[in-house]
């Protein structure tokens, strides 16, 4: 759990709140692309976390997160291979915004449409999902 202030806890529990999202894409070659709330296609962003790939309990699985977002950008989708994306949530806590980082995700898909780039990424926990041999 990420530590937040008491003002953040009060603001997040209120019936109305003011917030925005920001993020940064980093390519394998180190090129950085910063995006803001205005660059995000409304209603396109999500982060889901789950432990099992289906409805059955699987022993030894990794609790991983998937992130998806569509951006108004002209970034070349092929340059994003093996890149990362970070995203942060900013909440108004009485005149100033408190930032909560939502994680670092490895880009697995980048699909272009005419005006937008749709990105799907997974957190680094999937690197721990390895088959293990049982020893006797």
pLDDT for residue 21 is more than 80: yes
Quote the CA–CA distance of 66 and 118 in Å, as a whole number.
13
| Per-residue pLDDT, 34 | 97
The string of DSSP codes covering 53-66 is SSSS--TT---EEE
Residue 15 lies in a domain: no
Q: What is the pLDDT of residues 67-83, one digit of tens each?
A: 999 999 999 999 999 99
Higher pLDDT, 99 or 63: 99
Which domain, by its residues, includes 49?
Answer: 23-31+40-87+103-128
| Per-residue pLDDT, 64 | 78
Quote the CA–CA distance of 14 and 128 in Å, as a whole number.
38
Residue 118 lies in a domain: yes
Residue 11 lies in a domain: no
Residue 50 lies in a domain: yes
Residue 95 lies in a domain: no
How many domains, in total, are found in the chain?
1
Quote the CA–CA distance of 42 and 62 in Å, as a whole number.
30
pLDDT for residue 11 is more than 70: yes
**Rounded mean pLDDT of 88-92?**
96
Can you name the residues that pair with 65 across neighbouring β-strands? Answer: 49
pLDDT for residue 90 is more than 80: yes
pTM: 0.82
pLDDT for residue 61 is more than 80: no
Whose tokens are 């889901």? That residue is 48
């Amino acid at each position: 759990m990420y530590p937040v202030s008491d003002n953040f806890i009060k603001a997040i529990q209120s019936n109305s709140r003011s917030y925005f999202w920001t993020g940064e894409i980093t390519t394998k070659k180190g090129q950085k692309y910063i995006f803001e709330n205005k660059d995000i296609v409304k209603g396109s962003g999500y982060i889901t976390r789950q432990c099992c790939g289906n409805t059955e309990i699987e022993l030894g699985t990794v609790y991983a997160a998937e992130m998806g977002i569509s951006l108004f950008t002209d970034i070349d989708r092929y340059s994003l291979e093996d890149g990362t994306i970070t995203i942060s949530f900013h909440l108004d806590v009485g005149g100033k915004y408190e930032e909560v980082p939502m994680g670092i995700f490895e880009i697995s898909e980048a699909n272009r449409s005419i005006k937008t780039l749709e990105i799907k990424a997974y957190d680094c926990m999937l690197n721990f999902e390895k088959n293990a041999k049982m020893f006797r």
